[in-house]
């Protein structure tokens, strides 16, 4: 009810300029965003096509970093793979809308509680999404990566922001 | 193109096992139909917002009407509401995530519970199950509603929330649980803390709190008695 209309450049501008006409700067800001949409769609198409390769590459690295992980979590790698797909998809939404708050609101706050509840360490979460960022960089052209990377950086920052568990299970 | 890649224009359909996101995501959780004057959550449950003035008024009115029994009334109302709250939570979560709530892994249950209370404005709860084997559950709530509204007090003020937790967890566990608030932000603590256990076990705790016994001391004393 309150935040639904906060999303996207268009709605943010509309809300900010309630009862006013748009200034030339505001019009230009929206035109710039509109002009960037074909590039954003192209980046999203590439990520969709390479999603499995990207996430698989990320998990190949993680298995080396955390060889004990599956001792603590049954099917932990499969579930982690699935959650990482989800994170990547919400990042793509955020990139399309050019609004990092979308992923934080729709997924990250909730997912962070979930990850902390599994007694994972902030370091493991940081490593997971750093590996995801690295895999994206390896699989995507520079222009697509440039659009996605700020959102992946925000992912690392937000999702790893929880206290160390009393007894780590990694 | 590797086998993992998808032809241009094709759509990658999420695997069945792919978990859905946050049911309570602010942008999709509530929808207001201005023409009808109704607000519903994404499962269709009707929601109404209560202002701080209303909650203040409710507390004052119950206090005026019931005197020393007011806290008991809050606890009792909370228990009823909490059980209904849990019933709806169970329904909505099971429907949304496609499996019964009792099959949720604990971390998912915790995350959804935190979102439920946070998105309804009760404060942000954190469930501590480390003494579960001793029959004790602790809930720590940051920014609990009445602690903020009342401001300063010499006794915990979130009795309504304690009742809600009691009803909520009683419904989900199928056992008659009680809940006592042991610390309160209105009394100067950093957060409001609640202890849940079988009702008989918690019977002496309100007096301990009134006599100034601390949260850890209370937990230690309760944990020393076998569940």
Give the pLDDT band of residue A89 (cuts 50, 70, 90). Answer: very high
Residues pairing with B31 in the sheet: B40
The distance of A14 to chain B (nearest Cα, Å) reads: 17
- pLDDT > 60? residue B7: no
Report the complex ipTM.
0.77
pLDDT of residue A86: 94
pLDDT of residue B194: 98
Query: pLDDT over 90 for what percent of chain A?
Result: 78
Query: For chain A, how many structural domains are there in total?
Result: 1
Give the pLDDT band of residue A134 (cuts 50, 70, 90). Answer: very high
pLDDT of residue A122: 97
CATH number at residue A106: 1.10.490.20
Residues of A in contact with B26 (CB under 8 A): 2-4, 105
CB-based contact (8 Å) between A31 and chain B? Answer: no
Structural contact between residues A94 and A102, judged by C-beta atoms closer than 8 angstroms? yes
The distance of A49 to chain B (nearest Cα, Å) reads: 5
Tokens read off for B136:
């004790």
| pTM of the shown model | 0.84
- pLDDT > 90? residue A16: no
Higher confidence at residue B4 or residue B95?
B95
Give the pLDDT band of residue B5 (cuts 50, 70, 90). Answer: low
Structural contact between residues B78 and B161, judged by C-beta atoms closer than 8 angstroms? yes
- H or E segment at B50? none
pLDDT of residue B11: 52
Could you read off the pLDDT of B51-81 as tens digits, one per residue?
999 999 999 999 999 999 999 999 999 999 9
Q: What is the mean pLDDT of residues B110-123?
A: 95
How many residues are there in chain A? 170
Give the pLDDT band of residue B226 (cuts 50, 70, 90). Answer: confident
Residues of A in contact with B21 (CB under 8 A): 86, 90, 106-107, 110
> CB–CB of A53 and B17 under 8 A?
no
3.30.70.1230, 2.130.10.10, 3.30.1380.20, 3.40.50.2300: CATH of B55-224: 3.30.1380.20
Domain that holds residue A83: 37-159
pLDDT of residue B191: 94
Residue of chain A whose Cα is closest to the Cα of B127: A117
Is A18 among the domain residues? no
> CB–CB of A110 and B106 under 8 A?
no
Could you read off the pLDDT of B25-37 as tens digits, one per residue?
877 899 999 999 9
Could you read off the pLDDT of A22-55 as tens digits, one per residue?
999 999 999 999 999 999 999 999 999 999 999 9
What is the interface size between A and B, counted as CB pairs within 8 Å?
87
pLDDT of residue A7: 63
Structural contact between residues B214 and B201, judged by C-beta atoms closer than 8 angstroms? no
> CB–CB of B19 and A118 under 8 A?
no
pLDDT of residue B141: 97
Long-range own/partner contacts, residues B126-135 (CB < 8 A, 24 or more apart): B130/A166, B131/B219, B131/B223, B133/B227, B134/B222, B134/B223, B134/B226, B134/B227, B135/B197, B135/B198, B135/B201, B135/B227
Could you read off the pLDDT of B127-155 as tens digits, one per residue?
999 898 999 999 999 999 999 999 899 88
pLDDT of residue B202: 95
């Amino acid at each position: 009810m309150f935040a639904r209309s906060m999303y996207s450049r268009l709605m943010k501008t509309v809300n900010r300029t309630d009862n006013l006409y748009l200034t030339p700067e505001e019009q230009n800001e929206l035109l710039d965003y509109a002009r960037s949409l074909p590039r954003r769609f192209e980046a999203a198409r590439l990520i969709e096509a390479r999603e499995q390769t990207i996430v698989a590459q990320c998990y190949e690295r993680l298995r080396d970093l955390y060889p004990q992980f599956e001792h603590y979590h049954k099917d932990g790698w499969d579930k982690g793979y699935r959650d990482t797909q989800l994170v990547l998809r919400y990042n793509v939404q955020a990139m399309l809308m050019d609004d990092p708050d979308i992923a934080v609101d729709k997924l990250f706050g909730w997912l962070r509680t979930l990850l902390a509840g599994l007694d994972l360490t902030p370091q493991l979460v940081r490593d997971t999404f750093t590996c995801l960022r690295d895999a994206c960089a390896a699989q995507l052209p520079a222009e697509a990566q440039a659009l996605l990377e700020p959102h992946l950086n925000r992912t690392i920052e937000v999702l790893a922001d929880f206290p160390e568990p009393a007894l780590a299970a990694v | 193109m590797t086998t993992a890649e998808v032809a241009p224009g094709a759509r990658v359909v999420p695997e069945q096992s792919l978990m859905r996101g946050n049911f309570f995501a602010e942008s999709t959780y509530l929808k207001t139909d201005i023409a009808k004057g109704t607000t519903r959550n994404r499962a269709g449950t009707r929601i109404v917002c209560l202002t701080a003035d209303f909650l203040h008024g409710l507390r004052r009115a119950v206090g005026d009407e019931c005197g020393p029994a007011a806290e008991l009334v809050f606890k009792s109302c909370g228990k009823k509401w909490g059980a209904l709250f849990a019933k709806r939570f169970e329904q909505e979560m099971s429907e949304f995530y496609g499996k019964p709530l009792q099959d949720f892994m604990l971390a998912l249950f915790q995350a959804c519970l935190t979102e439920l209370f946070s998105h309804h404005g009760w404060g942000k709860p954190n469930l501590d199950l480390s003494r579960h084997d001793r029959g004790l559950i602790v809930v720590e709530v940051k920014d609990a509603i009445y602690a903020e509204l009342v401001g300063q007090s010499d006794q915990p003020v979130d009795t309504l929330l304690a009742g809600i937790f009691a009803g909520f967890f009683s419904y989900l566990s199928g056992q008659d649980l009680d809940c006592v608030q042991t610390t309160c932000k209105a009394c100067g603590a950093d957060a409001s803390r609640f202890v849940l256990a079988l009702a008989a076990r918690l019977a002496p705790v309100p007096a301990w709190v009134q006599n100034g016994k601390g949260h850890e001391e209370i937990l230690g004393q309760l944990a020393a008695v076998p569940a």
